[in-house]
Amino acid sequence: MTRAAAPRRRRLLAAVLTYVGAVLLAAFLLAPFVWLFISSLAPLADLIQRPLQWIPPHASFDRYRTIFFGADGRDFRFALRNSAEVAGLATSISLVAGMLGAYALSRFPSRGRSGLLYLMLATYMTPPVAILLPLYLILSRVGLLNSVLGLALVYTSFLTPFLTWILKGFFDAIPEELEEAARIDGASRVGSLVRVVLPLSLPGVITAVLFGVILAWDEFLYALIFTSSTAAKTLPVAISEFTSRFAVDYGLMAAGGIVAALPPLILAFALQRYLIAGLTAGSVKG
């Protein structure tokens, strides 16, 4: 080996190792989900045979047809609608409360401000079990058990503080001088928030909506306890029941999982930039 060849060989080896690592990582990230997708397409007979065939010889989208149009998919379709309504409603309420709150925390200098910020954080981190039982008693007393509205109100408990926290970071980045012109022209605080701050912090609003929808879509414990029929049951509850009710068809369960996963996955991939911005909003603030 010549002296010049050694570093080149080492560089080549490093490149090969990098790509071996990259392929392994991609396989690790993709394999479970790809298997779920394959399971949703393969006929049951293929899924339960030994030795298992990884690529099923006969694949079809029949189960997706069942879910969207068949009689067996009826409960699932209700759950899809309920999940969308709860996520939409909870995110809307929390967005309004969060925008006003974040604006106040960002603009009004006050001694208690950092205390209020930590209060928001503590509220977000409060575990559901800590408030679950009284909420159950309250909801049952006011007749909001098993209702989309009741569940959405409960979801504001973790969405409002989190969206406030995210939005405050974005509002902080907008110089106050920009608002002054509007204020001189007679705009109120709310007016300058709506006409000056919000348009400029549109990325913040998108980030907030993205996290609101994903978190609400994902929630399980409250939905399990507070809903009891197709009138309000959300997707996570429907899927957890799928397995006991259609215990035989693993493929139908897989198809249900894929359908339930698609909305948050599509949102997260389409809005990648905002997802990362939202995740790091907390960590740069420290």
d(CA 277, CA 208): 10
Closer by beta carbon to another protein, 195 or else 285: 285
Q: Which of 42, 67, 105, 205 binds another protein (CB under 8 A)?
A: 105
Query: Is residue 269 close enough to count as binding another protein by CB under 8 A?
Result: yes
- The residues in 205-234 that bind another protein, with binding defined as CB under 8 A, are 214, 217-218, 220-221, 224-225
d(CA 260, CA 64): 12
Query: Is residue 15 close enough to count as binding another protein by CB under 8 A?
Result: yes
d(CA 133, CA 192): 41
Residues 160-189, one symbol each (x = binds another protein by CB under 8 A, - = not), give xx--x------------------------x
Any idea of the CA torsion for 160, 162, 167, 170, to the nearest 10 degrees?
180
From 5-13, 70-78, 113-121, 195-203, give the range in contact with another protein by CB under 8 A. Answer: 113-121
Burial of residue 88, with CB atoms counted within 10 A of its CB: 0-12 exposed, 13-18 middle, 19 or more buried: middle
Closer by beta carbon to another protein, 39 or else 227: 39
Closer by beta carbon to another protein, 1 or else 22: 22
Count of chain residues binding another protein (CB under 8 A): 91
Nearest partner of 83 among 197, 238, 198, 200, judged by Cα: 238
Residue 76 near residue 141, CB atoms below 8 Å: no
Query: Is residue 144 close enough to count as binding another protein by CB under 8 A?
Result: no
- The residues in 44-73 that bind another protein, with binding defined as CB under 8 A, are 47-48, 50-52, 54
Report residue 65 as tokens. 């047809």
Query: Is residue 97 close enough to count as binding another protein by CB under 8 A?
Result: yes
Residue 190 near residue 61, CB atoms below 8 Å: no
